[in-house]
Structure 1
Amino acid sequence: MREIIDFLTANSTVFIATSDKGQARVRPFQFQFEQDGRLWFCTARHKEVFAQLQADPRLELASTAKDMATLRLLGQANLDDDMAVKRRIIENNGLVRSIYGAADNPEFTVFSVDHGRAVIFDFSGNPPKQYAF
Protein backbone atom coordinates (compact mmCIF):
# COMPACT_ATOMS: atom_id res chain seq x y z
CA MET A 1 0.00 0.00 0.00
CA ARG A 2 2.90 2.38 0.74
CA GLU A 3 4.02 2.39 -2.90
CA ILE A 4 0.46 3.19 -4.06
CA ILE A 5 0.20 6.09 -1.60
CA ASP A 6 3.64 7.41 -2.55
CA PHE A 7 2.77 7.24 -6.25
CA LEU A 8 -0.55 9.07 -5.76
CA THR A 9 1.03 11.69 -3.53
CA ALA A 10 3.68 12.43 -6.17
CA ASN A 11 1.16 12.25 -9.04
CA SER A 12 -2.05 13.49 -7.48
CA THR A 13 -3.99 14.11 -10.69
CA VAL A 14 -5.89 10.92 -11.44
CA PHE A 15 -8.54 10.05 -13.98
CA ILE A 16 -11.49 8.20 -12.48
CA ALA A 17 -13.78 6.08 -14.62
CA THR A 18 -17.35 5.35 -13.55
CA SER A 19 -20.34 3.82 -15.28
CA ASP A 20 -23.42 5.76 -16.35
CA LYS A 21 -26.12 3.29 -17.40
CA GLY A 22 -23.51 1.10 -19.04
CA GLN A 23 -21.55 3.95 -20.64
CA ALA A 24 -18.02 4.59 -19.34
CA ARG A 25 -17.37 8.12 -18.02
CA VAL A 26 -13.91 9.45 -17.21
CA ARG A 27 -12.90 12.69 -15.53
CA PRO A 28 -9.91 14.16 -13.67
CA PHE A 29 -9.78 14.19 -9.89
CA GLN A 30 -7.21 15.13 -7.32
CA PHE A 31 -6.04 12.52 -4.83
CA GLN A 32 -6.27 14.16 -1.41
CA PHE A 33 -4.53 11.81 1.02
CA GLU A 34 -4.51 8.38 2.64
CA GLN A 35 -5.89 7.93 6.12
CA ASP A 36 -6.30 4.62 7.94
CA GLY A 37 -5.79 2.66 4.71
CA ARG A 38 -8.39 4.70 2.83
CA LEU A 39 -7.60 6.75 -0.29
CA TRP A 40 -9.63 9.98 -0.14
CA PHE A 41 -11.16 12.12 -2.90
CA CYS A 42 -13.82 14.84 -2.94
CA THR A 43 -16.58 16.07 -5.21
CA ALA A 44 -19.90 17.92 -5.20
CA ARG A 45 -23.26 16.30 -4.55
CA HIS A 46 -24.83 17.90 -7.65
CA LYS A 47 -22.27 16.41 -10.06
CA GLU A 48 -23.09 13.47 -12.29
CA VAL A 49 -20.11 11.54 -10.91
CA PHE A 50 -21.68 11.56 -7.44
CA ALA A 51 -24.95 10.12 -8.80
CA GLN A 52 -23.00 7.55 -10.81
CA LEU A 53 -21.07 6.40 -7.73
CA GLN A 54 -24.31 6.19 -5.73
CA ALA A 55 -25.85 3.98 -8.41
CA ASP A 56 -22.72 1.89 -8.99
CA PRO A 57 -19.74 2.41 -6.66
CA ARG A 58 -17.30 0.51 -8.89
CA LEU A 59 -14.55 2.68 -10.27
CA GLU A 60 -11.15 2.51 -11.88
CA LEU A 61 -8.53 5.22 -11.74
CA ALA A 62 -5.24 5.86 -13.46
CA SER A 63 -2.36 8.26 -12.89
CA THR A 64 0.87 8.69 -14.81
CA ALA A 65 4.21 10.06 -13.64
CA LYS A 66 6.46 12.28 -15.76
CA ASP A 67 8.62 9.24 -16.60
CA MET A 68 5.44 7.48 -17.86
CA ALA A 69 5.26 5.05 -14.93
CA THR A 70 1.55 4.39 -14.53
CA LEU A 71 -0.72 3.37 -11.69
CA ARG A 72 -4.07 1.72 -12.40
CA LEU A 73 -6.37 1.00 -9.48
CA LEU A 74 -9.67 -0.88 -9.44
CA GLY A 75 -11.99 -0.59 -6.45
CA GLN A 76 -15.24 0.73 -5.07
CA ALA A 77 -16.12 4.17 -3.78
CA ASN A 78 -17.20 4.41 -0.17
CA LEU A 79 -19.47 7.47 -0.04
CA ASP A 80 -18.63 8.25 3.58
CA ASP A 81 -19.30 11.93 4.22
CA ASP A 82 -16.72 12.15 7.02
CA MET A 83 -16.64 15.69 8.49
CA ALA A 84 -13.10 15.29 9.87
CA VAL A 85 -11.85 14.33 6.41
CA LYS A 86 -13.72 17.24 4.86
CA ARG A 87 -12.12 19.63 7.36
CA ARG A 88 -8.66 18.24 6.61
CA ILE A 89 -9.16 18.69 2.86
CA ILE A 90 -10.48 22.25 3.24
CA GLU A 91 -7.60 23.19 5.56
CA ASN A 92 -4.90 21.74 3.31
CA ASN A 93 -6.15 22.29 -0.23
CA GLY A 94 -6.55 25.89 -1.38
CA LEU A 95 -8.24 24.92 -4.64
CA VAL A 96 -10.93 22.89 -2.89
CA ARG A 97 -11.34 25.64 -0.27
CA SER A 98 -11.82 28.21 -3.07
CA ILE A 99 -14.59 26.07 -4.59
CA TYR A 100 -16.49 24.95 -1.48
CA GLY A 101 -15.47 27.49 1.15
CA ALA A 102 -16.02 25.37 4.24
CA ALA A 103 -16.26 21.74 5.28
CA ASP A 104 -19.93 22.16 6.21
CA ASN A 105 -20.92 23.27 2.70
CA PRO A 106 -23.82 20.90 1.91
CA GLU A 107 -22.60 20.44 -1.70
CA PHE A 108 -19.11 19.33 -0.60
CA THR A 109 -18.73 15.60 -0.08
CA VAL A 110 -15.94 13.05 0.14
CA PHE A 111 -15.45 9.44 -0.79
CA SER A 112 -12.73 6.87 -0.30
CA VAL A 113 -11.46 3.73 -1.91
CA ASP A 114 -10.90 1.29 0.94
CA HIS A 115 -9.90 -1.88 -0.86
CA GLY A 116 -9.15 -3.04 -4.34
CA ARG A 117 -6.39 -4.04 -6.71
CA ALA A 118 -3.66 -1.91 -8.21
CA VAL A 119 -0.82 -2.27 -10.66
CA ILE A 120 2.16 0.01 -11.22
CA PHE A 121 4.03 -0.44 -14.47
CA ASP A 122 6.62 1.36 -16.55
CA PHE A 123 8.64 0.87 -19.71
CA SER A 124 11.75 -0.50 -17.99
CA GLY A 125 11.11 -4.06 -19.05
CA ASN A 126 10.56 -5.08 -15.43
CA PRO A 127 7.30 -6.88 -14.68
CA PRO A 128 4.41 -4.79 -13.36
CA LYS A 129 4.03 -4.60 -9.58
CA GLN A 130 0.63 -5.81 -8.43
CA TYR A 131 -1.08 -5.00 -5.14
CA ALA A 132 -4.23 -5.95 -3.29
CA PHE A 133 -5.38 -3.74 -0.42
Structure 2
Amino acid sequence: MDGLNTVLEYLTSVPAWYLATSVDGQPHVRPFSFAQIQDGKLWFVTARTKDVWQELLQNQRFEATSWWPGHGWLILRGRAGLDDQAALDMREAGWKHLERLGEHYEGAGDPTLVFFSVEEPEAFICNHDEWVPIEL
Protein backbone atom coordinates (compact mmCIF):
# COMPACT_ATOMS: atom_id res chain seq x y z
CA MET A 1 0.00 0.00 0.00
CA ASP A 2 1.44 3.39 -0.88
CA GLY A 3 1.92 6.09 1.75
CA LEU A 4 -1.05 8.27 0.85
CA ASN A 5 -3.41 5.29 1.00
CA THR A 6 -1.91 4.32 4.37
CA VAL A 7 -2.68 7.80 5.69
CA LEU A 8 -6.21 7.63 4.27
CA GLU A 9 -6.76 4.24 5.89
CA TYR A 10 -5.68 5.58 9.30
CA LEU A 11 -8.07 8.54 8.94
CA THR A 12 -11.07 6.56 7.70
CA SER A 13 -10.77 3.48 9.94
CA VAL A 14 -11.82 5.40 13.05
CA PRO A 15 -14.99 7.40 13.81
CA ALA A 16 -13.09 10.69 14.20
CA TRP A 17 -9.58 12.04 14.01
CA TYR A 18 -8.31 15.42 15.16
CA LEU A 19 -7.02 18.42 13.25
CA ALA A 20 -5.11 21.21 14.99
CA THR A 21 -4.59 24.76 13.80
CA SER A 22 -2.71 27.57 15.50
CA VAL A 23 -3.50 31.26 15.34
CA ASP A 24 -1.71 33.89 17.42
CA GLY A 25 0.17 31.13 19.23
CA GLN A 26 -3.01 29.47 20.51
CA PRO A 27 -3.59 25.88 19.31
CA HIS A 28 -7.13 24.83 18.40
CA VAL A 29 -8.07 21.15 18.02
CA ARG A 30 -11.30 19.73 16.67
CA PRO A 31 -12.63 16.40 15.39
CA PHE A 32 -12.79 15.70 11.67
CA SER A 33 -13.97 12.55 9.92
CA PHE A 34 -13.92 13.05 6.14
CA ALA A 35 -10.85 12.43 4.00
CA GLN A 36 -10.53 11.44 0.37
CA ILE A 37 -7.80 11.22 -2.27
CA GLN A 38 -8.13 13.15 -5.55
CA ASP A 39 -5.40 13.83 -8.11
CA GLY A 40 -2.73 12.32 -5.87
CA LYS A 41 -3.58 14.56 -2.90
CA LEU A 42 -5.47 14.10 0.33
CA TRP A 43 -8.52 16.37 0.76
CA PHE A 44 -10.71 17.36 3.72
CA VAL A 45 -14.03 19.21 3.89
CA THR A 46 -15.30 21.92 6.21
CA ALA A 47 -17.56 24.96 5.96
CA ARG A 48 -16.60 28.56 5.32
CA THR A 49 -18.62 29.53 8.41
CA LYS A 50 -16.50 27.42 10.80
CA ASP A 51 -13.64 28.70 12.93
CA VAL A 52 -11.29 26.09 11.48
CA TRP A 53 -11.64 27.62 7.98
CA GLN A 54 -11.07 31.13 9.28
CA GLU A 55 -7.98 29.91 11.14
CA LEU A 56 -6.61 28.14 8.05
CA LEU A 57 -7.02 31.38 6.09
CA GLN A 58 -4.73 33.04 8.65
CA ASN A 59 -2.22 30.20 9.04
CA GLN A 60 -2.33 27.28 6.59
CA ARG A 61 -0.09 25.02 8.72
CA PHE A 62 -1.91 22.24 10.56
CA GLU A 63 -1.34 18.90 12.20
CA ALA A 64 -3.75 15.97 12.35
CA THR A 65 -3.66 12.81 14.41
CA SER A 66 -5.58 9.56 14.41
CA TRP A 67 -5.30 6.64 16.81
CA TRP A 68 -6.23 3.34 15.23
CA PRO A 69 -6.39 0.73 18.02
CA GLY A 70 -3.98 -2.10 17.42
CA HIS A 71 -2.09 -0.15 14.74
CA GLY A 72 -0.58 2.83 16.55
CA TRP A 73 -1.34 6.42 15.73
CA LEU A 74 -0.83 8.67 12.77
CA ILE A 75 0.65 12.14 12.84
CA LEU A 76 0.08 14.13 9.65
CA ARG A 77 1.56 17.58 9.15
CA GLY A 78 1.02 19.87 6.23
CA ARG A 79 -0.19 23.11 4.78
CA ALA A 80 -3.80 23.57 3.71
CA GLY A 81 -4.17 24.11 -0.02
CA LEU A 82 -7.01 26.62 0.00
CA ASP A 83 -7.79 26.44 -3.73
CA ASP A 84 -10.94 24.28 -3.65
CA GLN A 85 -10.61 21.97 -6.66
CA ALA A 86 -12.90 19.21 -5.38
CA ALA A 87 -14.39 17.08 -8.13
CA LEU A 88 -18.17 16.61 -8.18
CA ASP A 89 -18.00 13.06 -6.77
CA MET A 90 -15.87 14.22 -3.83
CA ARG A 91 -18.20 17.20 -3.21
CA GLU A 92 -21.14 14.78 -3.16
CA ALA A 93 -19.35 12.41 -0.75
CA GLY A 94 -18.28 15.26 1.56
CA TRP A 95 -21.75 16.81 1.61
CA LYS A 96 -23.43 13.46 2.37
CA HIS A 97 -20.85 12.75 5.07
CA LEU A 98 -21.53 16.06 6.83
CA GLU A 99 -25.30 15.54 6.51
CA ARG A 100 -24.95 12.17 8.29
CA LEU A 101 -23.19 14.04 11.11
CA GLY A 102 -26.21 16.32 11.48
CA GLU A 103 -24.92 19.33 9.54
CA HIS A 104 -27.22 20.76 6.89
CA TYR A 105 -26.27 22.31 3.55
CA GLU A 106 -28.14 22.87 0.30
CA GLY A 107 -26.43 20.06 -1.55
CA ALA A 108 -22.99 19.24 -2.88
CA GLY A 109 -22.82 22.60 -4.68
CA ASP A 110 -23.55 24.68 -1.58
CA PRO A 111 -20.92 27.47 -1.62
CA THR A 112 -20.62 27.20 2.17
CA LEU A 113 -18.84 23.86 1.77
CA VAL A 114 -15.13 24.12 1.13
CA PHE A 115 -12.56 21.42 0.43
CA PHE A 116 -8.88 21.86 1.15
CA SER A 117 -5.95 19.73 0.09
CA VAL A 118 -2.94 18.66 2.13
CA GLU A 119 0.15 20.32 0.68
CA GLU A 120 3.74 19.58 1.78
CA PRO A 121 2.58 16.53 3.74
CA GLU A 122 4.71 14.73 6.31
CA ALA A 123 3.31 11.64 8.01
CA PHE A 124 4.47 9.26 10.72
CA ILE A 125 3.08 6.06 12.21
CA CYS A 126 3.88 6.08 15.90
CA ASN A 127 3.87 3.78 18.87
CA HIS A 128 5.29 4.28 22.34
CA ASP A 129 8.84 3.57 21.17
CA GLU A 130 9.28 5.13 17.73
CA TRP A 131 8.00 7.32 14.90
CA VAL A 132 8.18 5.67 11.48
CA PRO A 133 8.04 8.13 8.57
CA ILE A 134 5.64 7.37 5.72
CA GLU A 135 6.97 8.11 2.24
CA LEU A 136 4.42 10.41 0.58
CA-atom RMSD in angstroms: 2.3
Could you list the per-position Cα deviations for residues 61-102 of structure 1 after superposition, in whole angstroms to 9, with x for gaps in the alignment? 000012361000110111122352323423566526852241
- In structure 2, the partner of 1:107 is 112
Contact 2:62 2:77 in 1 (8 A): yes
Kindly provide the amino acid, as one letter, of the partner of residue 115 in structure 2: V
Distance 1:46 1:99 in 2: 12
Match of 1:37 among 32, 35, 40: 40
Q: Which runs of 5+ in 1 are unaligned?
A: none
Q: Which runs of 5+ in 2 are unaligned?
A: none
SS in 1 for 2:104: helix
Distance 1:18 1:83 in 2: 22
- In structure 2, the partner of 1:6 is 9
Aligned residues: 131
SS in 2 for 1:50: helix
Deviation at 1:32, TM superposition (A): 2.4
Does residue 58 of structure 1 match 2:58?
A: no
Distance 2:84 2:43 in 1: 11
Q: Percent identity, aligned pairs only?
A: 33
Distance 2:20 2:97 in 1: 25
The aligned runs of 1:1-133 (5 Å cut-off) are: 1=3, 2-11=5-14, 13-67=16-70, 69-84=72-87, 85-90=90-95, 94-95=99-100, 99-123=104-128, 127-133=130-136
Kindly provide the amino acid, as one letter, of the partner of residue 115 in structure 1: E
**Judging changes above 3 Å, is the alpha-carbon distance between structure 1 residues 41 and 83 closer, same or farther for their aligned structure 2 residues?**
closer
Deviation at 1:11, TM superposition (A): 2.6
Distance 2:60 2:68 in 1: 26
Deviation at 1:21, TM superposition (A): 1.6
